[in-house]
Structure 1
Amino acid sequence: MAPSQDSFAPRRDAPLFGRLAIIGIGLIGSSIAHAAKALNLAGRVVLYDREPEVRQRARELGLGHEIAETAAAAVADADHIVLCVPVGACGAVAAEIAAMLKPGAVLSDVGSVKNAVVEAVTPHLPEGVHFVPAHPVAGTENSGPDAGFPSLFLNRWCILTPAEGTDPAAIAATRQFWEGMGAIVEVMTASHHDLVLAVTSHLP
Protein backbone atom coordinates (compact mmCIF):
# COMPACT_ATOMS: atom_id res chain seq x y z
CA MET A 1 0.00 0.00 0.00
CA ALA A 2 1.39 3.37 -0.99
CA PRO A 3 1.30 6.23 1.51
CA SER A 4 -1.41 8.77 0.79
CA GLN A 5 -0.16 12.27 0.06
CA ASP A 6 -2.77 13.87 2.28
CA SER A 7 -2.76 11.49 5.24
CA PHE A 8 -0.44 10.01 7.82
CA ALA A 9 -1.08 6.30 7.30
CA PRO A 10 -0.98 3.82 4.43
CA ARG A 11 -3.93 4.06 2.06
CA ARG A 12 -5.60 0.74 1.37
CA ASP A 13 -5.53 -0.57 -2.17
CA ALA A 14 -9.01 -2.04 -1.65
CA PRO A 15 -11.66 -0.80 0.82
CA LEU A 16 -12.13 -2.71 4.07
CA PHE A 17 -15.89 -2.07 3.89
CA GLY A 18 -18.13 -1.41 0.92
CA ARG A 19 -20.36 1.02 2.82
CA LEU A 20 -19.58 2.73 6.12
CA ALA A 21 -22.33 4.55 8.01
CA ILE A 22 -21.52 7.14 10.67
CA ILE A 23 -24.34 8.32 12.93
CA GLY A 24 -23.44 11.60 14.60
CA ILE A 25 -21.17 14.20 12.99
CA GLY A 26 -19.22 15.70 15.86
CA LEU A 27 -15.46 15.59 16.44
CA ILE A 28 -15.24 11.80 16.43
CA GLY A 29 -17.71 11.17 13.61
CA SER A 30 -16.20 13.79 11.32
CA SER A 31 -12.67 12.56 12.06
CA ILE A 32 -13.67 8.99 11.18
CA ALA A 33 -15.21 10.27 7.95
CA HIS A 34 -12.05 12.20 7.02
CA ALA A 35 -9.84 9.20 7.73
CA ALA A 36 -12.10 6.63 6.07
CA LYS A 37 -12.18 8.63 2.84
CA ALA A 38 -8.49 9.55 2.86
CA LEU A 39 -7.31 6.02 3.61
CA ASN A 40 -9.85 4.12 1.48
CA LEU A 41 -11.25 2.27 4.48
CA ALA A 42 -14.69 2.24 2.85
CA GLY A 43 -15.87 2.43 -0.72
CA ARG A 44 -18.70 4.72 0.33
CA VAL A 45 -18.95 6.84 3.48
CA VAL A 46 -22.48 7.85 4.50
CA LEU A 47 -23.20 10.17 7.42
CA TYR A 48 -26.24 11.27 9.37
CA ASP A 49 -26.84 13.75 12.18
CA ARG A 50 -30.18 14.63 13.74
CA GLU A 51 -29.45 18.37 13.41
CA PRO A 52 -30.26 19.70 9.90
CA GLU A 53 -27.63 22.44 10.14
CA VAL A 54 -24.97 19.87 10.99
CA ARG A 55 -25.96 17.75 7.99
CA GLN A 56 -25.75 20.83 5.77
CA ARG A 57 -22.32 21.73 7.11
CA ALA A 58 -21.15 18.16 6.52
CA ARG A 59 -22.22 18.50 2.89
CA GLU A 60 -20.35 21.78 2.57
CA LEU A 61 -17.23 20.18 4.02
CA GLY A 62 -17.52 17.12 1.77
CA LEU A 63 -17.23 14.81 4.76
CA GLY A 64 -18.93 11.86 3.10
CA HIS A 65 -19.99 10.53 -0.25
CA GLU A 66 -23.55 10.96 1.00
CA ILE A 67 -25.29 12.80 3.85
CA ALA A 68 -28.49 10.91 4.64
CA GLU A 69 -31.70 12.54 5.83
CA THR A 70 -32.51 9.77 8.33
CA ALA A 71 -30.47 7.37 10.43
CA ALA A 72 -32.31 4.44 8.87
CA ALA A 73 -31.40 5.59 5.36
CA ALA A 74 -27.77 5.99 6.38
CA VAL A 75 -27.40 2.42 7.62
CA ALA A 76 -29.30 0.72 4.79
CA ASP A 77 -26.95 -1.82 3.18
CA ALA A 78 -24.03 -0.64 5.37
CA ASP A 79 -21.34 -3.17 6.21
CA HIS A 80 -20.03 -1.23 9.22
CA ILE A 81 -21.99 1.25 11.31
CA VAL A 82 -20.46 3.51 13.96
CA LEU A 83 -22.70 5.25 16.50
CA CYS A 84 -20.92 8.55 17.25
CA VAL A 85 -23.65 9.79 19.57
CA PRO A 86 -23.72 10.34 23.35
CA VAL A 87 -23.77 7.16 25.42
CA GLY A 88 -27.30 7.90 26.60
CA ALA A 89 -28.58 8.07 23.02
CA CYS A 90 -27.12 4.78 21.76
CA GLY A 91 -30.10 2.63 22.73
CA ALA A 92 -32.64 4.89 21.05
CA VAL A 93 -30.56 5.11 17.88
CA ALA A 94 -30.09 1.33 17.82
CA ALA A 95 -33.86 0.89 18.06
CA GLU A 96 -34.36 3.40 15.24
CA ILE A 97 -31.98 1.70 12.82
CA ALA A 98 -32.46 -1.96 13.80
CA ALA A 99 -34.90 -2.85 11.03
CA MET A 100 -32.50 -1.53 8.37
CA LEU A 101 -29.38 -3.37 9.54
CA LYS A 102 -28.49 -6.10 7.09
CA PRO A 103 -27.39 -9.58 8.19
CA GLY A 104 -23.63 -9.70 8.65
CA ALA A 105 -23.32 -5.98 9.37
CA VAL A 106 -21.01 -4.87 12.17
CA LEU A 107 -22.40 -2.27 14.57
CA SER A 108 -20.03 -0.29 16.77
CA ASP A 109 -19.91 2.88 18.84
CA VAL A 110 -17.38 5.30 20.33
CA GLY A 111 -18.72 5.70 23.88
CA SER A 112 -16.42 6.18 26.86
CA VAL A 113 -18.56 3.88 29.04
CA LYS A 114 -19.17 0.38 27.74
CA ASN A 115 -21.47 -1.58 30.08
CA ALA A 116 -24.24 1.00 29.72
CA VAL A 117 -23.95 0.97 25.93
CA VAL A 118 -24.00 -2.83 25.76
CA GLU A 119 -27.10 -2.99 27.95
CA ALA A 120 -28.87 -0.31 25.89
CA VAL A 121 -27.99 -1.56 22.42
CA THR A 122 -27.99 -5.36 22.69
CA PRO A 123 -31.80 -5.80 23.06
CA HIS A 124 -32.30 -4.11 19.68
CA LEU A 125 -29.78 -6.15 17.69
CA PRO A 126 -31.35 -8.17 14.87
CA GLU A 127 -30.19 -11.74 14.41
CA GLY A 128 -27.04 -11.88 12.30
CA VAL A 129 -25.84 -8.37 13.19
CA HIS A 130 -22.58 -8.25 15.13
CA PHE A 131 -21.97 -5.69 17.89
CA VAL A 132 -18.36 -4.71 18.59
CA PRO A 133 -18.32 -1.76 21.02
CA ALA A 134 -15.31 0.56 20.77
CA HIS A 135 -13.84 3.44 22.73
CA PRO A 136 -11.26 5.55 20.91
CA VAL A 137 -9.38 7.34 23.68
CA ALA A 138 -8.89 10.52 21.69
CA GLY A 139 -10.29 14.01 21.57
CA THR A 140 -9.66 17.73 21.53
CA GLU A 141 -11.34 20.73 23.10
CA ASN A 142 -13.24 21.34 19.85
CA SER A 143 -16.54 19.85 18.71
CA GLY A 144 -18.83 19.73 15.69
CA PRO A 145 -18.30 18.77 12.06
CA ASP A 146 -15.60 21.41 11.52
CA ALA A 147 -13.48 19.98 14.34
CA GLY A 148 -12.61 16.64 12.74
CA PHE A 149 -9.29 15.72 11.18
CA PRO A 150 -8.00 12.38 9.84
CA SER A 151 -5.06 11.94 12.23
CA LEU A 152 -7.09 12.27 15.45
CA PHE A 153 -6.65 8.57 16.25
CA LEU A 154 -2.97 8.26 15.32
CA ASN A 155 -1.07 6.48 18.11
CA ARG A 156 -4.08 6.75 20.42
CA TRP A 157 -5.65 3.80 22.20
CA CYS A 158 -8.90 2.30 20.95
CA ILE A 159 -10.47 -0.25 23.28
CA LEU A 160 -12.81 -2.91 21.84
CA THR A 161 -15.21 -4.66 24.23
CA PRO A 162 -17.03 -7.41 22.31
CA ALA A 163 -19.18 -9.79 24.31
CA GLU A 164 -18.17 -13.42 24.67
CA GLY A 165 -19.21 -15.33 21.56
CA THR A 166 -19.02 -12.35 19.20
CA ASP A 167 -18.09 -13.35 15.65
CA PRO A 168 -14.26 -13.34 15.42
CA ALA A 169 -14.38 -11.96 11.88
CA ALA A 170 -16.43 -8.97 13.07
CA ILE A 171 -13.91 -8.27 15.83
CA ALA A 172 -11.02 -8.61 13.38
CA ALA A 173 -12.64 -6.22 10.90
CA THR A 174 -13.28 -3.64 13.63
CA ARG A 175 -9.68 -3.96 14.77
CA GLN A 176 -8.46 -3.47 11.18
CA PHE A 177 -10.69 -0.42 10.84
CA TRP A 178 -9.21 1.36 13.85
CA GLU A 179 -5.66 0.22 13.16
CA GLY A 180 -6.15 1.53 9.64
CA MET A 181 -6.66 4.99 11.17
CA GLY A 182 -3.46 4.64 13.18
CA ALA A 183 -4.96 3.59 16.53
CA ILE A 184 -3.42 1.13 18.97
CA VAL A 185 -6.15 -1.46 19.58
CA GLU A 186 -6.70 -3.45 22.76
CA VAL A 187 -9.54 -5.91 23.44
CA MET A 188 -11.07 -6.40 26.90
CA THR A 189 -14.42 -6.99 28.55
CA ALA A 190 -16.82 -4.08 28.99
CA SER A 191 -16.64 -4.42 32.77
CA HIS A 192 -12.84 -4.36 32.81
CA HIS A 193 -12.82 -1.35 30.50
CA ASP A 194 -15.15 0.59 32.77
CA LEU A 195 -13.08 -0.31 35.83
CA VAL A 196 -9.81 0.73 34.19
CA LEU A 197 -11.28 4.01 32.96
CA ALA A 198 -12.85 4.75 36.33
CA VAL A 199 -9.52 4.24 38.09
CA THR A 200 -7.35 6.12 35.59
CA SER A 201 -9.75 9.05 35.36
CA HIS A 202 -9.07 9.80 39.03
CA LEU A 203 -5.30 9.74 38.74
CA PRO A 204 -3.55 13.12 39.16
Structure 2
Amino acid sequence: MAQQQETKSEPFDEFIVDTEDCEAREQAYRARGTARPITVVGNPVLHKECRDVTEFDDELARLVDDMFASQRAAEGVGLAANQIGVDLKVFVYDCLDDEGVRHVGVVCNPVLDELPAERRMLDDSNEGCLSVPGAYASLARPDYAVVRGQDAEGKPIAVQGTGYFARCLQHETDHLYGYLYIDRLSKRERKEALKQMAEGAPRYETVAND
Protein backbone atom coordinates (compact mmCIF):
# COMPACT_ATOMS: atom_id res chain seq x y z
CA MET A 1 0.00 0.00 0.00
CA ALA A 2 2.79 2.43 0.89
CA GLN A 3 4.52 1.81 -2.42
CA GLN A 4 1.33 2.60 -4.31
CA GLN A 5 0.98 5.88 -2.43
CA GLU A 6 4.57 6.85 -3.24
CA THR A 7 4.01 6.38 -6.97
CA LYS A 8 0.72 8.19 -7.38
CA SER A 9 2.36 11.57 -8.13
CA GLU A 10 4.57 10.33 -10.99
CA PRO A 11 4.44 12.43 -14.18
CA PHE A 12 1.70 12.14 -16.78
CA ASP A 13 4.14 11.31 -19.59
CA GLU A 14 4.79 7.95 -17.93
CA PHE A 15 1.35 6.69 -18.94
CA ILE A 16 1.07 4.59 -22.08
CA VAL A 17 -0.73 5.95 -25.13
CA ASP A 18 -3.55 3.51 -25.76
CA THR A 19 -5.70 5.74 -27.98
CA GLU A 20 -3.78 5.53 -31.27
CA ASP A 21 -4.48 3.05 -34.11
CA CYS A 22 -7.14 1.40 -31.94
CA GLU A 23 -9.10 -0.17 -34.80
CA ALA A 24 -6.04 -1.64 -36.50
CA ARG A 25 -4.53 -2.97 -33.27
CA GLU A 26 -7.78 -4.55 -32.06
CA GLN A 27 -8.44 -6.14 -35.46
CA ALA A 28 -4.93 -7.59 -35.56
CA TYR A 29 -5.33 -9.22 -32.15
CA ARG A 30 -8.76 -10.53 -33.04
CA ALA A 31 -7.74 -11.88 -36.46
CA ARG A 32 -5.08 -14.06 -34.83
CA GLY A 33 -7.33 -15.20 -32.01
CA THR A 34 -10.16 -17.67 -31.45
CA ALA A 35 -13.20 -16.76 -29.38
CA ARG A 36 -13.68 -18.88 -26.27
CA PRO A 37 -16.79 -19.35 -24.10
CA ILE A 38 -17.24 -16.99 -21.15
CA THR A 39 -17.09 -18.44 -17.63
CA VAL A 40 -19.97 -17.31 -15.42
CA VAL A 41 -20.39 -16.54 -11.73
CA GLY A 42 -20.14 -19.61 -9.51
CA ASN A 43 -17.25 -21.19 -11.39
CA PRO A 44 -14.28 -21.57 -8.99
CA VAL A 45 -11.78 -19.89 -11.33
CA LEU A 46 -13.62 -16.58 -10.91
CA HIS A 47 -13.53 -16.63 -7.12
CA LYS A 48 -9.82 -16.83 -6.32
CA GLU A 49 -6.77 -14.67 -6.98
CA CYS A 50 -5.08 -15.55 -10.26
CA ARG A 51 -1.41 -16.46 -10.67
CA ASP A 52 1.09 -13.79 -11.66
CA VAL A 53 2.23 -13.78 -15.27
CA THR A 54 5.91 -14.78 -15.24
CA GLU A 55 6.43 -15.97 -18.82
CA PHE A 56 5.98 -13.33 -21.51
CA ASP A 57 6.11 -15.74 -24.40
CA ASP A 58 4.22 -16.93 -27.47
CA GLU A 59 1.71 -18.74 -25.29
CA LEU A 60 0.81 -15.48 -23.55
CA ALA A 61 0.57 -13.73 -26.92
CA ARG A 62 -1.88 -16.38 -28.13
CA LEU A 63 -3.92 -15.97 -24.97
CA VAL A 64 -4.13 -12.20 -25.51
CA ASP A 65 -5.27 -12.75 -29.10
CA ASP A 66 -7.97 -15.17 -27.93
CA MET A 67 -9.07 -12.71 -25.25
CA PHE A 68 -9.61 -9.94 -27.80
CA ALA A 69 -11.54 -12.36 -30.02
CA SER A 70 -13.64 -13.51 -27.05
CA GLN A 71 -14.28 -9.96 -25.90
CA ARG A 72 -15.55 -8.92 -29.32
CA ALA A 73 -17.71 -12.05 -29.72
CA ALA A 74 -19.39 -11.29 -26.38
CA GLU A 75 -19.66 -7.55 -27.19
CA GLY A 76 -17.69 -6.59 -24.09
CA VAL A 77 -15.39 -3.66 -23.33
CA GLY A 78 -12.98 -5.53 -21.05
CA LEU A 79 -12.09 -9.14 -20.34
CA ALA A 80 -9.95 -10.84 -17.68
CA ALA A 81 -8.17 -14.13 -18.36
CA ASN A 82 -10.14 -16.04 -15.73
CA GLN A 83 -13.33 -15.12 -17.58
CA ILE A 84 -12.24 -17.60 -20.23
CA GLY A 85 -11.01 -20.07 -17.62
CA VAL A 86 -7.31 -19.12 -17.55
CA ASP A 87 -5.67 -18.65 -14.15
CA LEU A 88 -3.37 -15.74 -15.01
CA LYS A 89 -3.30 -12.05 -14.11
CA VAL A 90 -3.93 -10.46 -17.48
CA PHE A 91 -6.78 -8.41 -18.87
CA VAL A 92 -7.55 -6.73 -22.18
CA TYR A 93 -9.76 -3.76 -22.91
CA ASP A 94 -11.43 -1.95 -25.80
CA CYS A 95 -13.34 0.78 -24.05
CA LEU A 96 -14.58 4.32 -24.58
CA ASP A 97 -14.16 6.94 -21.88
CA ASP A 98 -16.85 9.50 -21.07
CA GLU A 99 -15.50 11.82 -23.79
CA GLY A 100 -15.96 9.11 -26.42
CA VAL A 101 -12.22 8.43 -26.78
CA ARG A 102 -11.42 4.79 -27.51
CA HIS A 103 -8.75 2.94 -25.48
CA VAL A 104 -7.32 -0.45 -26.48
CA GLY A 105 -4.68 -2.35 -24.54
CA VAL A 106 -3.37 -5.23 -22.44
CA VAL A 107 -2.27 -5.23 -18.78
CA CYS A 108 -0.50 -8.09 -17.00
CA ASN A 109 -0.13 -8.26 -13.21
CA PRO A 110 -2.22 -5.12 -12.62
CA VAL A 111 -2.21 -3.16 -9.38
CA LEU A 112 -4.47 -0.17 -8.81
CA ASP A 113 -2.94 2.99 -7.35
CA GLU A 114 -4.29 4.18 -4.02
CA LEU A 115 -5.93 7.48 -4.89
CA PRO A 116 -5.45 10.65 -2.84
CA ALA A 117 -8.62 11.90 -1.20
CA GLU A 118 -9.05 14.76 -3.70
CA ARG A 119 -9.23 12.27 -6.61
CA ARG A 120 -11.78 9.97 -5.00
CA MET A 121 -14.87 11.39 -6.70
CA LEU A 122 -17.40 8.57 -6.79
CA ASP A 123 -19.55 7.70 -9.79
CA ASP A 124 -22.53 5.43 -9.09
CA SER A 125 -23.35 4.47 -12.68
CA ASN A 126 -24.69 1.06 -13.65
CA GLU A 127 -22.20 -1.77 -14.04
CA GLY A 128 -22.48 -5.11 -15.79
CA CYS A 129 -20.23 -8.10 -16.39
CA LEU A 130 -19.88 -10.75 -19.09
CA SER A 131 -19.62 -13.32 -16.29
CA VAL A 132 -22.99 -12.21 -14.90
CA PRO A 133 -24.85 -12.04 -18.23
CA GLY A 134 -27.90 -9.84 -18.46
CA ALA A 135 -27.54 -8.26 -15.01
CA TYR A 136 -26.80 -4.63 -14.15
CA ALA A 137 -26.59 -2.72 -10.90
CA SER A 138 -25.54 0.71 -9.67
CA LEU A 139 -22.09 0.59 -8.06
CA ALA A 140 -20.09 3.54 -6.72
CA ARG A 141 -16.48 3.59 -7.93
CA PRO A 142 -13.92 6.40 -8.27
CA ASP A 143 -14.27 8.17 -11.62
CA TYR A 144 -10.47 8.18 -12.05
CA ALA A 145 -8.14 5.18 -11.92
CA VAL A 146 -4.48 4.37 -12.45
CA VAL A 147 -3.38 0.77 -12.92
CA ARG A 148 0.25 -0.31 -13.09
CA GLY A 149 1.60 -3.59 -14.39
CA GLN A 150 3.34 -4.97 -17.45
CA ASP A 151 2.54 -5.24 -21.13
CA ALA A 152 2.47 -8.53 -23.04
CA GLU A 153 6.25 -8.34 -23.47
CA GLY A 154 6.90 -7.79 -19.78
CA LYS A 155 7.70 -4.08 -19.95
CA PRO A 156 6.45 -1.92 -17.04
CA ILE A 157 3.41 0.20 -17.92
CA ALA A 158 0.87 2.48 -16.29
CA VAL A 159 -2.62 3.16 -17.62
CA GLN A 160 -4.93 5.95 -16.50
CA GLY A 161 -8.63 6.25 -17.11
CA THR A 162 -11.57 8.51 -16.34
CA GLY A 163 -15.29 7.89 -16.20
CA TYR A 164 -16.46 4.66 -17.83
CA PHE A 165 -12.91 3.66 -18.72
CA ALA A 166 -11.82 4.11 -15.08
CA ARG A 167 -14.67 1.78 -14.10
CA CYS A 168 -13.43 -0.77 -16.66
CA LEU A 169 -9.87 -0.70 -15.28
CA GLN A 170 -11.12 -1.24 -11.74
CA HIS A 171 -13.61 -3.93 -12.76
CA GLU A 172 -11.03 -6.00 -14.68
CA THR A 173 -8.38 -5.69 -11.98
CA ASP A 174 -10.96 -6.90 -9.45
CA HIS A 175 -11.55 -10.02 -11.56
CA LEU A 176 -7.91 -11.06 -11.33
CA TYR A 177 -8.02 -10.92 -7.53
CA GLY A 178 -11.14 -13.06 -7.35
CA TYR A 179 -13.85 -10.38 -7.09
CA LEU A 180 -16.88 -9.78 -9.29
CA TYR A 181 -18.71 -6.48 -9.22
CA ILE A 182 -21.68 -8.17 -7.55
CA ASP A 183 -19.42 -9.00 -4.59
CA ARG A 184 -19.33 -5.25 -3.87
CA LEU A 185 -23.12 -4.97 -3.75
CA SER A 186 -25.40 -5.34 -0.75
CA LYS A 187 -26.96 -8.78 -0.25
CA ARG A 188 -30.27 -7.52 -1.62
CA GLU A 189 -28.66 -5.95 -4.68
CA ARG A 190 -26.59 -9.05 -5.34
CA LYS A 191 -29.67 -11.24 -5.12
CA GLU A 192 -31.45 -8.96 -7.59
CA ALA A 193 -28.52 -9.11 -10.04
CA LEU A 194 -28.45 -12.91 -9.90
CA LYS A 195 -32.21 -12.94 -10.45
CA GLN A 196 -31.75 -10.79 -13.57
CA MET A 197 -29.15 -13.24 -14.79
CA ALA A 198 -31.39 -16.27 -14.14
CA GLU A 199 -34.32 -14.69 -15.96
CA GLY A 200 -32.34 -13.91 -19.11
CA ALA A 201 -30.39 -15.86 -21.69
CA PRO A 202 -26.77 -14.96 -22.49
CA ARG A 203 -26.23 -13.70 -26.03
CA TYR A 204 -22.87 -15.47 -26.23
CA GLU A 205 -21.50 -18.93 -25.43
CA THR A 206 -20.87 -19.58 -21.73
CA VAL A 207 -19.24 -22.30 -19.64
CA ALA A 208 -21.38 -24.24 -17.19
CA ASN A 209 -20.20 -24.15 -13.57
CA ASP A 210 -18.01 -27.02 -12.40
TM-score range, shorter chain: under 0.3
Give the alignment's TM-score, normalised by structure 2: 0.26
Compare CA radii of gyration and give the structure with the larger one. Answer: 2
